[in-house]
Amino acid sequence: MQSKEVLELMVQACDDKRAADIKVYDVKETSPVTDYFVICHGNSERQAQAISDEVREVAHKNGLDISIEGQKAGKWILCDVGDVIVHIFLKTEREYYNLERLFKDSGDTIGG
């Protein structure tokens, strides 16, 4: 499966669980480990966990390997689907860590 197809599946999985402010960054030219970052947030730990559960389910249904970190705490959950890495935050953690600042000058956002 092409990385763009994986990206579309992951964004849809986040959207299906009503993730807020979904942003997609194309990092193919700058990252040696992935092609895309997806950043979004949930309004509660439970919602963030539900988003990551949906990402996992969609990955498994499509035969994709996935690794998830931080799901128990539910404040910052990282879902590594190879060519796509999904960051699911609580809103306060998203504002605190502000990963988007890494891309502020790149103009690489392709979603949201």
Question: CA-to-CA distance for 67 and 85, rounded, in angstroms?
Answer: 10
pTM over 0.85: yes
pLDDT in tens, 35-70: 999 999 999 999 999 999 999 999 999 999 999 999
Mean pLDDT rounded to a whole number for the chain = 91
Confidence at residue 86, expressed as pLDDT on a 0 to 100 scale: 98
Helix (H, G, I), strand (E, B) or coil at 11: helix
Beta bridge partners of 88: 40, 77
Q: Is the per-residue pLDDT at 25 higher than 50?
A: yes
